[in-house]
Amino acid sequence: MLAPAARSARTFTDCKESMEDQNIDPMNYPKRLVADQMFGPMLRFFRLEAASSILLLFATFLALVWANSAASETYAHFWHTEVALFWGPYRMSHSLVHWVNDGLMAVFFFIVGLEIKRETLVGELSSPKIAMLPVIAALGGMVVPGLIYWAFNHGGAGMNGWAIPMATDIAFAIGAIAVFGTKLPVGLRIFLAAFAIADDLGAVLIIAIFYSKHIAVNYLLISAGFACGMAVLNLLRIRFIPLYVFLGFGLWLAVLGSGIHPTIAGVIGALFIPVRAKYDAEQFAEKVNTVMDNYQCNVRNSCYWYSILLNRDHLNCVHAVHQACTDVETPLQRLEHALHPYVAFLILPVFACGNAGLSLQGLDLTEALLHPVTVGIALGLLVGKPVGIAVFAWLAVRLNLASLPEGVNWSHMIGAGMLGGIGFTMSLFVSGLSFTDQALSDYSKMGILAGSILAALAGMAFLALQCKRQQAGEGAT
């Protein structure tokens, strides 16, 4: 009998001869797979910057249709189905939407925390001079909408929702500006991203301070213990991610029992994820070059798609390059890269579907549209956001605390401020923390949807007009 390696060699030789008889180039054979043709368009869609926004829109539309269809009862029944976790005598039972809001959204806030840490250390928020403009603009984008909401709801039953119009949905805002491609200056996109991250940081602080329940000190001490464990791992430069995941899960459970909203555990955990690589980019290039020098490849004889299965040296080189890539990539980058698709294309659409289901059945539309909660949120997002962002940014520049990004003018800033009024995901999240009364919850959802949609349309139309004027001016010159 032939040895396994000999049988494999003969099998591949026969396969190669068969493909050559059919005029199929073995070098390109993997590209001819049917799967590439089937899933290629899908993969291209998920690479689009606006893809997550499209899925969020679809999930919202699905929730609204489902909540107002003949099967509307199944919407509430499905999302309020009790789901329980057991561990010996311990039992934790919550509704499905509760698990989404307190569990899955903790992963979303973990990504937000990673982004905040990255931007604070090496990004747009790392330099005080550069960071001042988005930070001050974010402050204005929170203060003015909050004041507008307060003006309509002061002393009323809906006053607890004052923070709802303060939030900006970074996915929708970035997706909206991505539609313009290169027609808008790169500095505007960078400003909007940095502003949204600063806005998220403000939202996290508001949730932690104002929307936490009665604090259980014993669980809070346990939370501190898990956080200290993650800090020690970081100080020891331990990069083994499963350890951080284990301690992070324990941190989430402890925060869940402490009375602080459990999504805050995601942000706290993100702060202790290592941000340093094992070695720098120059060392990485040297190591990969050394490995590739040993990767001898005769194009006609040994570089077919199956050569990796026959040549052990090739496999060892591939493993060495893979390890080098792992060592040069920081744990923060690795987690952010690994989790971002799940957050953008799964967690946020599921959250939107579970929370955006505004039922209009039996709802007095006139009363709902004119209710102080609805008006306060809608005007806060549509008017308060752009006014607050533009005015505070102007003051920062006027007082020489900051400067406009290169190529960005005040018309661009006003348009970006309008897009900042897309509250949606974060506003829905804060709304769920603000109201237990179903009527007030419905009014808040109506205000969020109306304000976010109008802000998106107004911002895109305004920026499109600015692009048209700019093109007309360039054509005239």
Does 445 or 204 have the greater pLDDT score? 445
Mean pLDDT of 52-75: 89
- Domain regions of the chain by residue span: 51-77+124-212+355-470
Q: Is the pLDDT of residue 4 over 50?
A: no
Mean pLDDT of 378-403: 94
What pLDDT score was predicted for residue 43? Answer: 47
Q: How far apart are CA 257 and CA 428, in angstroms?
A: 23
Q: Is the pLDDT of residue 78 over 90?
A: yes
Q: Which amino acid is at 165?
A: P
Q: Under a CB-based contact definition with an 8 Å cutoff, are residues 354 and 96 in contact? A: yes
Q: Which of 43-47, 55-59, 112-116, 155-159 has the lowest mean pLDDT?
A: 43-47
Q: How far apart are CA 388 and CA 270, in angstroms?
A: 29
Mean pLDDT of 185-213: 85
| pLDDT over 90 percentage in the chain | 39
Q: How far apart are CA 358 and CA 96, in angstroms?
A: 17
What pLDDT score was predicted for residue 470? Answer: 76
Q: How far apart are CA 419 and CA 414, in angstroms?
A: 9
Q: How far apart are CA 119 and CA 123, in angstroms?
A: 4
Q: Is the pLDDT of residue 106 over 50?
A: yes
Q: Is the pLDDT of residue 419 over 50?
A: yes
Mean pLDDT, the chain, rounded, equals 83
Which residues touch 147 (CB under 8 Å, ≥6 apart)? 384
Q: Is the pLDDT of residue 28 over 80?
A: no
- Element (H or E) spanning 86, and its range? strand 82-87
Q: Is the pLDDT of residue 194 over 60?
A: yes
Q: Is the pLDDT of residue 3 over 50?
A: no
Q: Is the pLDDT of residue 298 over 50?
A: no
Q: Is the pLDDT of residue 466 over 80?
A: yes
Give residue 421's Cα distance to chain centre: 17
Q: Is the pLDDT of residue 308 over 90?
A: no
Q: Is the pLDDT of residue 8 over 50?
A: no
What pLDDT score was predicted for residue 474? Answer: 62
Q: Which of 298-307, 312-321, 391-400, 413-422 has the lowest mean pLDDT?
A: 298-307
Q: What is the four-CA torsion angle of 251, 253, 257, 259, rounded to 10 degrees?
A: 60
Residues 450-465 have pLDDT tens digits of 999 999 999 999 999 9
Alpha helices in 294-409 (DSSP H): 299-302, 307-310, 312-328, 331-342, 348-355, 365-370, 372-379, 385-398
What pLDDT score was predicted for residue 306? Answer: 64
237: left (phi over 0), alpha (psi -120 to 50) or beta: left
Fold type of domain 51-77+124-212+355-470: Na+/H+ antiporter like fold (1.20.1530)
What pLDDT score was predicted for residue 477? Answer: 57
Q: Is the pLDDT of residue 198 over 50?
A: yes
